[in-house]
Amino acid sequence: MKKTSTRLADGRELIYYDLRDDTVRDAVDRRPLERTHTTSEIRRDVLLGDSVAVASHRQGRTYHPPANECPLCPTWGDRLSEVPDSSYDVVVFENRFPSLAGDSGRCEVVCFTSDHDASFADLSVEQARLVLDAWTDRTSELSHLPSVEQVFCFENRGAEIGVTLQHPHGQIYAYPFTTPRTALMLRSLAARKEATGGENLFDTVLERELAEERVVLEGEHWAAFVPYAAHWPYEVHLYPKRRVPDLLALDEAARTEFPQVYLELLRRFDRIFGEGEPPTPYIAAWHQAPFGALEAFEGVTRDDFALHLELFTIRRTSGKLKFLAGSESGMSVFINDVPPERAAERLREVASS
């Protein structure tokens, strides 16, 4: 992998990740952009104990542009975009309309391929491995920023999810705090460790799930399963079999196998609802241990946390979505329309030949 860092016209950082070591990236951003000004602010909810990012500048962000005006495609001739070069393998850049900025963290865009009409599932094993390497590199770099406590790599796919740019891409949020969902896991982890004299809850969950009927696919180094208490109609958790706290700690064997397992999982997601259906909308979310202090979770260290990816769709059946209504949005109590056992069975049924 070759990494080349440059700057866009407004000062934002852009990084090319290339498969070939002899690739030259010297294209200049020719757009007449002014420096980006953001109004991102973190506000603490003292009743719920969580935080809200207020980012009013995002109201003017690019919204469903036609394909020939996509800002994530490479620059071609006089059609200028966020990527100055005429091609790329993987590229990462600071979001022009970030939810988090400055002392409030950082937001980056990850473009998986220059092919506008592709998806992550269309990538080759080599291309998917390059994305993994980019995620890992950005996790390392962002973790050293003084304002960053947790790094979150994720992909939103599909208009139903709320995606406004159809080019295959994901994002990275570098939060200045430990996110509420991670905090819940850490509290459960701490409670089980104290109650049992050292048991790791992640290890226990993985061991139990691998013995159940909800396993979707399993490799030598990775395992994917529908969790016992899945929140979403089709939800899969992907774990490395050797517990590590973050992407940086994956060994070479796990890195080599990941693209094969993940690509197969995504392709199965696209076949859940049968032929003729539009691509399955999904969210793919990496859960990594925070880089900040963990004193609030007594007895827990970063090494106790288990890196894993959670993949889920809001489509519950053909032509129907799972909406977060009163119980989910008002009380955070999910009601799942699809039994997890049946979801796992369906994901096994659609295995590719």
- How confident is the model over 47-89, as pLDDT tens digits? 999 999 998 777 666 767 887 899 999 999 999 999 999 999 9
Write the CA distances from 303 to 73, 104, 106, 202, 286, integer angstroms. 39, 26, 25, 11, 16
Contact 155, 108 (CB under 8 A): no
Residue 100 has pLDDT above 80, yes or no: yes
The two three-digit tokens of residue 353, written as one number? 């030949």
pLDDT digits (tens, 9 = 90+) for 284-341: 999 999 998 899 899 999 999 999 999 999 999 999 999 999 999 999 999 999 999 9
pLDDT at 95 (0 to 100): 96
Give the catalytic positions in this structure: 169
Closest CA to 186 of 329, 326, 299: 299
Residue 210 has pLDDT above 50, yes or no: yes
- Write down the residue that tokens 């790599």 correspond to: 153
pLDDT digits (tens, 9 = 90+) for 21-57: 999 999 999 999 988 777 789 999 999 999 999 987 7
